[in-house]
Structure 1
Amino acid sequence: MGIVAFHDADTFEVSLPLLIVGAGACGLVAALAARECGIELAVLERDALPRGSTFMSSGFIPAAGTRFQADKGVDDSPELMAKDIQAKNGDEADPAIVQTLAGYSGRVVEWLADTHGVPFDLVDGFLYPGHSRMRMHATPRRTGEELMGSLLTAAETAGIDILTQARVVDLHVDEARRVRGVTLERPDGSQERIGCEAMILACNGYGGNPELVARYLPTLKNALYYGHEGNQGDALLWGEAMGASLKDLGACQGHGSLATPHQTLISWALMMRGGIQVNLEGRRFSSEHGGYSEQAAKVLAQPGRVAWNLFDARIHHAALEFEDYRNAHIAGAVRTFATLESMAKGLDLPLDALEQTFDEMRTLAGNGEADAFGRSFSPETLLVPPYYAIRVTGALFHTQGGLEVDTQARVVGQEGSIFPNLFAAGGAARGVSGSNDSGYLSGNGLLSAVVMGAIAGREASRQLRRGGTA
């Protein structure tokens, strides 16, 4: 698969104004935006049922200044959201992209809710690491599966054509770097050629490609990959072959709380509400409030490449609002102990080390000082019996680097020029998480997918109405 040189004599079986590669949240939102502009299009999806990385996520979309926030008394602004994003990534992201995503985030979430019936609500009760306001918007069950279901229903209602089991293997590109069409392959090996006037790459990143992960994310090359297997880096490889600028390829979203062996995502809300992680030696090894993405590598560096999430009944009952947590509980991943002694025995942890860990937290809560990792504790959130525990490991969820795009989602060449008719968003494009795993702010992935997806759909439509010029 790759880039095929297009010649004027080449023909396609059928042609459409717009093709979108990938039917995850990014591709579906882009399609909804383009269809609203009256553009004829098709979404090409390699799987029999559109799922993508969104399906496996919690489905949380950060947005600022929404009515959902106002209804719960949250005072937020795009400016503050942009500041939070840049603070987490060390000012490594393109400030224009950050400001654009933050600025449009509230409008896109409300548009999806009001026009397309996505039942958003604000996730409240705690702050995710790095966010200074509650701004996570999610559907009632708090799952990416439910978000995908809502978007697929919206796409069906809008009459959007989604061609499933249609794996794009080649892009046909002319000398001016204009994409003229694709070759797609069906499961039986048969191929079809579809022409287009514009294209949006919404086919995510390269997390499912071990060779690319080892090249760009060496600290996570042995991590469990908890993303969609179709994320093979197609957009990255096509863009590289076309001379596109590639940025921040070492950026990713890891997660330091994947239940093992159950492979169920455990919400980081457990940590933000007072939980801790200890290694097999019964000791904490980091600040659990630093961010769950960079925590993946820290967990993987521990003995056995695992850790225990420790929390209490207060946190357990609050976590039951998350379907993933309920599933983990039903599956037996959550263990309960009446005392520290019984927990140490049940988890095969050294009792003296575990007691020292809990004594230190009580001391820090009493004197108001932070620990060696910079985390503070408060008396009201100290863990009390009965205690709960989940065995977890670190995982790679998805990558955050990719094709450089401008604020209109247009792909940028290595020399700084704009590609004539190629757009990219979501995991296919450079995100706003900086250059490594520590710059990921909770929700950055779906922020880039949903908001930049909407921008890509709108801007591709504008270009097509102008006659296809960039």
Structure 2
Amino acid sequence: MVNPNIAPPPPNYDLKVQTLIIGAGAAGMVAALSAHESGQDVLVIEADSTPAGSTALSAGLIPAAGTQFQTRANITDTPTLFAADIQAKAKGENDSDLVSIMAQTAGLVIEWLTKTHGLPFSVITDFDYPGHSRRRMHGLPTRSGRELIDALRSRIDALEIPLICNRRATTLFTQNGEITGAQLQLPDGTLETVACDRLILACNGFGGNRAMVSQHMPNIDRAIWFGHDGNRGEAVTWGAALGAKTTHLGAYQGHGNVAHPHGILITWATITQGGVQVNLNGDRFWNESLGYSEAARAVLAQPGGTAWVLFDSRIASIARQFEDFKNAEKQGAVLTTQTIADLATATGLPKTNLSKTLSNIPQSGPDAFGRDWQTPPLAPPVHAVKVTGALFHTQGGLEVDPATAAVKRTNGVMFETFFATGGAACGVSGSGDSGYLSGNGLLAAVTLGYIAGRGNG
């Protein structure tokens, strides 16, 4: 990789556009749709051979409050309540204006993607996500990030918005402290230059840069990297060279329910609907209801850095709405037995300890870990998946103006030509992993993408 650089503009550019967007994940493509709608001349460039990013590896779920889908499901929700949930999870560490605007904008974006662009969203109504006081997670039919990426790409193509793949931005050109364009590298090493009036960074965070992960979040640096390898930290590197302000670089989204060694995400519905995690001794080891992000560290701290998630067929039927879970079943990651004794044999867990652990789960009310039980007890047949902890994506980044997504300088003054969205920008997950509220990553991607794209349009 050529290190991302800052340089004076060249005498001549190969191409000129109004808005140049670096990155074609959900953030970049939403920004492109928004910019196109406001009448701008847009170019999206993507380093990979096809758009994917971290979005394609996720469940593709976007939290939003006050949508038509919630109304149809008799779910009463408001952006104010949503914002309060975000802040409660992050213990008030987020910028309140950023939280408020994201909470207010999310429903608008979901409705816009549905009505204007035909994306068939629906709200998940059969289980809750930790920290959300209402059911507000919206997704496409397969509950797959790959489906979301493909749907956005289809709209980009239908509207003939230029999206060029196999172009990695290596240099940003600046003059008088503002961005004037970028240099792009092709697979054969040749270079192109593009002038722009506005640059939107949608190149995600730095989870794929192990040195940066070790520097800013050493407590997760031995976790499996489950994000996209293209997340190399260019946004932070460019920002530092330009005098941009960064915030909460130690924030990240982990996940403690990734099938091992299969590398498939197992939905947290296996936990919220009454499942548990046990270590290799057959013992529960934490309050699983706290959330899947902090679960990564909890699981990695166990012997072998692994655990088993245990659930029953009632829970499995809910989990099957997710394409990832069905793939896990097809690949043999999900073990199924009729008795606890057989489960112990299948997993290699100590039978006595496992039986004691499961018998100690209360019918209702709190347990010794502080988890409040409101779900039916596990009933045969029982399922098990061996899981480990993973790093999904970073949540800190360039600080932006909530109203415009313009990047803020260290002196507090906003850039006029430089914008950031998604993982390139600081999100609303506080300063670590426990502040991550389910869906925060795509929340930042689509809301800041929509805002950045519109510009003055």
TM-score interval, smaller chain:
over 0.9
Cα distance in 2 for partners of 1:205, 1:447 equals 15
Cα distance in 1 for partners of 2:334, 2:5 equals 49
Corresponding residue number in structure 2 for 1:466: none
Give the C-alpha shift of residue 10 in structure 1: 2.3
Corresponding residue number in structure 2 for 1:415: 411
1:349-390 deviations in Å (ceiling 9; x for gaps): 1112112111211xx32xx44123210224x52111111000
Report whether the alignment pairs 1:405 with 2:400: yes
Q: Which amino acid aligns with 2:408?
A: V
Q: Which amino acid aligns with 1:371?
A: D
Matches within 5 A, 1:124-135: 124-135=125-136
Corresponding residue number in structure 2 for 1:94: 95
Asked whether the 8 Å contact 1:177–1:420 carries over to 2, the reply is: no
Matches within 5 A, 1:109-124: 109-124=110-125
Corresponding residue number in structure 2 for 1:268: 268
Q: Which amino acid aligns with 2:406?
A: R
Matches within 5 A, 1:248-259: 248-259=248-259
Matches within 5 A, 1:5-20: 5-6=7-8, 10-20=11-21
Matches within 5 A, 1:359-438: 359-361=359-361, 364-365=362-363, 368-378=364-374, 380-407=375-402, 408-438=404-434
Cα distance in 1 for partners of 2:87, 2:233 equals 26
In structure 1, list runs of 5 or more residues that go unmatched. Answer: 463-470
Deviates more, 1:352-361 or 1:209-218: 352-361
Q: Which amino acid aligns with 1:82?
A: A
Runs (4+) off by over 4 Å: none
Asked whether the 8 Å contact 2:259–2:387 carries over to 1, the reply is: yes
Asked whether the 8 Å contact 2:258–2:266 carries over to 1, the reply is: yes
Q: Which amino acid aligns with 1:275?
A: G
Asked whether the 8 Å contact 2:89–2:434 carries over to 1, the reply is: yes
Matches within 5 A, 1:32-431: 32-174=33-175, 176-361=176-361, 364-365=362-363, 368-378=364-374, 380-407=375-402, 408-431=404-427
Give the C-alpha shift of residue 432 in structure 1: 0.2
The secondary structure found in structure 1 opposite 2:192 is: strand
Asked whether the 8 Å contact 2:335–2:383 carries over to 1, the reply is: yes
Corresponding residue number in structure 1 for 2:23: 22
Q: Which amino acid aligns with 2:68?
A: R
Q: Which amino acid aligns with 1:457?
A: G
Asked whether the 8 Å contact 1:3–1:242 carries over to 2, the reply is: no
Cα distance in 1 for partners of 2:369, 2:417 equals 48
Pairs aligned (count): 454
Asked whether the 8 Å contact 2:335–2:346 carries over to 1, the reply is: no
Give the C-alpha shift of residue 159 in structure 1: 1.3
CA RMSD of aligned residues (A): 1.0
The secondary structure found in structure 1 opposite 2:289 is: coil
The secondary structure found in structure 2 opposite 1:200 is: strand
1:153-179 deviations in Å (ceiling 9; x for gaps): 1111111100110000000111x3211
Q: Which amino acid aligns with 2:340?
A: L
Give the C-alpha shift of residue 26 in structure 1: 0.3
Asked whether the 8 Å contact 2:279–2:307 carries over to 1, the reply is: yes
The secondary structure found in structure 1 opposite 2:366 is: coil
Cα distance in 2 for partners of 1:103, 1:63 equals 8
Asked whether the 8 Å contact 1:205–1:402 carries over to 2, the reply is: yes
Cα distance in 2 for partners of 1:60, 1:230 equals 21
Deviates more, 1:81-90 or 1:316-325: 316-325
Cα distance in 1 for partners of 2:48, 2:148 equals 18
